[in-house]
Amino acid sequence: MVPMHAASQNDIVSTICKKTRNPSFCFNVLKSAGTTDLKGLATFTLNLAHDKATQSYALAQSLASKAVDPKLKERYATCAELYDDAVDDIEDGKNYLGEGDYNGVNIKASAAMTEANDCLDSFTQPPKDPSALSGNGKTVEDICSIILVIANLLLGHA
């Protein structure tokens, strides 16, 4: 039995990614992390999720201000609120990580994932979202999925 910290990067990444909702995305993300330390990977992915949620918030705000269709305008405004909440949740998750509260990290990553999903769900009915917002939402969900696995691993090793 090899201790977790001594395992190769591929072993750690493989252990994490096979449990995520998008393993190939996970492999691509984590191979650029430059660490195999679970806390380091958690920090890396929380920062990525924060950046993507912040971009999504700004995009949704911009789209809401420019949309002509009242339904789209309302959906974008709702998405802006959801991504604003997601950014706050991810910031809380970072704080919990710093405190060693991995269950808190798990809860906050799950909340951010739900908020991204709620935004995506708002576009299941026409009019369709022609912007990059839906792709961003999927990315936020995929990154949060990685954070959830890492938080669970940290819980198991805590």
Asked if residues 133 and 122 have their Cβ atoms less than 8 Å apart, the reply is: no
Token pair 């999927």 is found at 138
What is the pLDDT, as a whole number, of residue 28? 95
Question: Is CATH 3.40.50.300 what the domain over 6-157 is classified as, yes or no?
Answer: no
- Cβ burial, residue 69 (10 Å; 0-12/13-18/19+): exposed
Asked if residues 59 and 27 have their Cβ atoms less than 8 Å apart, the reply is: no
What is the pLDDT, as a whole number, of residue 3? 45
Q: Where are the domains of the chain?
A: 6-157
Show pLDDT as tens, one digit a residue, over the chain (158 residues). Answer: 444 444 566 789 999 999 999 999 999 999 999 898 999 999 999 999 999 999 999 999 999 999 999 999 999 999 999 999 999 999 999 999 999 999 999 999 999 999 999 999 999 988 988 899 999 999 999 999 999 999 999 998 54
What is the pLDDT, as a whole number, of residue 6? 46
What is the pLDDT, as a whole number, of residue 130? 87
- Nearest to residue 47, comparing CAs of 80, 90, 101? 90
What is the pLDDT, as a whole number, of residue 157? 55
Question: What span, in angstroms and rounded, lies between the C-alpha atoms of 107 and 105?
Answer: 6
Q: How far is CA 21 from CA 17, 115, 138, 146, in A?
A: 8, 16, 11, 8
What distance, in Å, lies between the first and last C-alpha atoms of the chain?
A: 18
What is the pLDDT, as a whole number, of residue 10? 72
